[in-house]
Structure 1
């Protein structure tokens, strides 16, 4: 029976598509800690600290052993997933691709490699697959200092993947399909200059240069009011390029496939893609 684990949303386990009862939040937190470090030994002290923080570690060890026993029973029907006692702690033996968090890391790494090799359509597809794994806030329903810090780090990885995904979609010429999404995201993150640049570029290539310039002025004023600074060099350069209708904003049109009408030239977006922030 095939098992799949989900951390990018509520913590879940499915065996052949059926949800496994993992118990209450604290017990699911134990499983989440093991899944984050899948196939690596996690010491008892680490488990106690990550799940209970500083709440009387000596008193919770018996409780921990009970949780581990019940999780073993819950996963007994699954093939390819087992919680094993090892010297120094416990390890959850499982195929890494069975855990959505690790699958997200793997697919985004392949997407960035494709982008570096100028395979933007493939990169866009891979980024879409990686982001499609998310079902909500990571580790939803769990609340410990360690989980909360990890959630913040993983959320930053998701945001970085979204930005990289947008870059390759812009280079592929998907400007009109991005407008609504970028408009909503700029409302949520009004001071994000990279995101603002993507929205401005999409507006420009959709034939809305006045709106593009208006949004530049908007973020320029926001940065001045909120942070007391001007836009960075990349955003200022983009603003100047739009003012002068710089042809460097366009990638030279490629020869269209037989029988296919040529589409608009995609935007030139800088290729260097930032690495994801490390997971603690």
Structure 2
């Protein structure tokens, strides 16, 4: 049976469209700790740190053996997937495409290498469509928290790069709702602010865009003690129909 190991949301394993029971949260942590580095060995000490942090059980090796045994049983019907024990380490052996996080990374990499904005937009849409919620939802260890922050940042970067492609294709009006929400969540992100200004301007709402620029300018000054950077200032000049080089004269 083909298997999908899903990390971008709740942690699930789907065998030919059928969900399989991965057990309790700590056992799911073991799967995540191996799946994020599919086909790479993870040492025993690394695995203990990822699953328990600095509070391991009295017999972590015995606990891991039990979790791995039950995970192997849960995945026993999956083709070409194995939880392998090697000297001093463990490894999830599988097609990287079986893990949604790895598919996301592959698709975003392909988008960045693609030759046209239309292709780039389609690949980013496919990558972002894999997300179902917070990564590793319901699981919490220090390592998982750090990994979640990394993966969330990857998603945020993919969203902003996708928006750049959409704006270059003239699709600004369709991006307004997403950009407005993103700007509210990240009010000091100048790249997002510039994207929202362009989307508003190209939707015939230049006055609103100019007002937003002034608010962002004030907030940057008040909270960071800085002025907008060159990219955001260039968009502002575009809204005013002033040539980009005018400020250098």
TM-score range, shorter chain: over 0.9
Say which of 189, 192, 195 aligns to 1:195. Answer: 192
- Provide the aligned C-alpha RMSD in A: 1.4
- Contact kept? 2:110, 2:123, Cα under 8 Å: yes
For residue 179 of structure 1, report the CA deviation from its aligned partner: 1.1
- 1:10–1:56: structure 2 CA closer, same or farther, 3 Å change rule? closer
Say which of 203, 212, 221 aligns to 1:215. Answer: 212
Match of 1:85 in 2: 85
Deviations 1:123-164 (A, max 9, x none): 000000000000001111110010100000110000000000
For residue 175 of structure 1, report the CA deviation from its aligned partner: 1.0
For residue 113 of structure 1, report the CA deviation from its aligned partner: 0.7
- Contact kept? 1:14, 1:20, Cα under 8 Å: yes
Deviations 1:184-243 (A, max 9, x none): 111111111000000001111111211111110011111112212111111112111211
- The reply to whether residue 236 of structure 1 matches residue 201 of structure 2 is no
Match of 2:153 in 1: 156
- The reply to whether residue 132 of structure 1 matches residue 133 of structure 2 is no
- Contact kept? 1:49, 1:57, Cα under 8 Å: no
State the TM-score, normalized to the length of structure 2.
0.95
Q: 2-side partners of 1:85 and 1:142: how far apart? A: 24
Q: Counterparts of 1:159-178 in structure 2 under 5 Å?
A: 159-178=156-175
- The reply to whether residue 121 of structure 1 matches residue 118 of structure 2 is yes
Match of 1:48 in 2: 48
Q: 2-side partners of 1:37 and 1:2: how far apart? A: 19
Q: 1-side partners of 2:176 and 2:140: how far apart? A: 35
Match of 2:38 in 1: 38
For residue 88 of structure 1, report the CA deviation from its aligned partner: 2.2
Q: 2-side partners of 1:196 and 1:55: how far apart? A: 43
- Contact kept? 2:237, 2:244, Cα under 8 Å: no
State the TM-score, normalized to the length of structure 1.
0.85
- Determine helix, strand or coil for the equivalent of 1:133: coil
5+ residue gaps, structure 1, are: 249-280
Q: 2-side partners of 1:137 and 1:79: how far apart? A: 28
Q: How many residue pairs get matched?
A: 245
Could you say which structure has the higher helix fraction?
2
Q: 1-side partners of 2:177 and 2:67: how far apart? A: 45
Match of 1:6 in 2: 6
For residue 59 of structure 1, report the CA deviation from its aligned partner: 2.2
- 1:176–1:245: structure 2 CA closer, same or farther, 3 Å change rule? farther
- Determine helix, strand or coil for the equivalent of 2:59: helix
For residue 247 of structure 1, report the CA deviation from its aligned partner: 9.6
Q: 1-side partners of 2:154 and 2:162: how far apart? A: 12
- Contact kept? 1:5, 1:14, Cα under 8 Å: yes
Q: 1-side partners of 2:219 and 2:56: how far apart? A: 47
Q: 2-side partners of 1:80 and 1:164: how far apart? A: 34
Match of 2:202 in 1: 205
